[in-house]
Amino acid sequence: MLPVPFAGHLGYDAIFIVTYAAWLLFEIVTGRSRRSADPTKARDRGSFRFLIAMIWAGLALAFTFCFGLQQAAIPWMRTQLFFIGIVLMWAGIGFRYYAMRVLGRYFTFQVDVHSGQTVIEAGPYRYIRHPSYTGALLTVIGLGLALGNWASILGMLACISAGYAYRIRVEEAALVAALGQPYREYMSRTARLVPFVL
């Protein structure tokens, strides 16, 4: 069973391609504009490159599985799941952008701590420490649903979750080292990715 956007349904392919391209373009543009001011002083420990590798590996698995493992296709409500997936992708992009805006100049793609940086607790940061990653994962789940394949969803989530797990560990270690007790206290009262859950 081919994914809905590639099964010849009028307009669904265009909706998917525009949404997917918008996501990639958003990540490329923000990635170029949000680099560390001094990459030689970043505390990244390779987490950015590892995360990017895991995202591309996840995407490769998702598209390979949706065409090569069609027996893993979700058999019910395929059109509805496609549109739910598209909505989740746009919601994830929007939420990630919102998180970046709230963090302002402190948001960089390489792990870095700015001089004079403080703990930010405005907007989504009041409840979760990494809302931009939550937005990215929401986008990925949406992509998986739009492709309508269980193997695609699981393969992509496995890779990308591994990337973000390492990234979060590196980032939180850098923030604890730089900000000390205020960040430890912030960690104790917030979730990593999902409010009150994870």
Show the domains of the chain with their CATH numbers: 45-108+120-198 (1.20.120.1630)
Where does the pLDDT of residue 106 fall: very low under 50, low under 70, confident under 90, or very high at 90 and above? confident
Q: Counting Cβ atoms within 10 Å, is residue 70 exposed (0-12), middle (13-18) or buried (19+)? A: middle
Tokens representing 157 are: 């989530």
For residue 37, the model assigns a pLDDT of: 55
> For residue 61, is pLDDT > 60?
yes
Q: What is the mean pLDDT of residues 121-126?
A: 95
For residue 44, the model assigns a pLDDT of: 83
Q: What is the mean pLDDT of residues 97-116?
A: 86
User: How many residues can be counted in the chain?
Assistant: 198
Q: What is the mean pLDDT of residues 158-167?
A: 95
Residue of 62, 82, 67, 81 lying closest to 16 (CA atoms): 82
> For residue 36, is pLDDT > 60?
no
For residue 112, the model assigns a pLDDT of: 79
Q: Which residues, in sequence order, are bridge partners of residue 73? A: 149
Q: What is the mean pLDDT of residues 146-166?
A: 95
Percent of the chain at pLDDT exceeding 70: 94
Asked whether 1 and 75 are in contact (CB, 8 A), the reply is: yes
For residue 15, the model assigns a pLDDT of: 96
What torsion do the CA atoms of 85, 87, 90, 92 make, to the nearest 10 degrees? -70
Asked whether 159 and 61 are in contact (CB, 8 A), the reply is: yes
> For residue 32, is pLDDT > 70?
no
| Lowest mean per-residue pLDDT among 35-44, 72-81, 146-155, 163-172 | 35-44
The pTM assigned to this predicted structure is 0.90
For residue 33, the model assigns a pLDDT of: 58
Tokens representing 98 are: 């919102």
Alpha helices by DSSP H, listed for the chain, are 12-33, 47-68, 78-103, 131-147, 150-179, 181-189
For residue 133, the model assigns a pLDDT of: 95
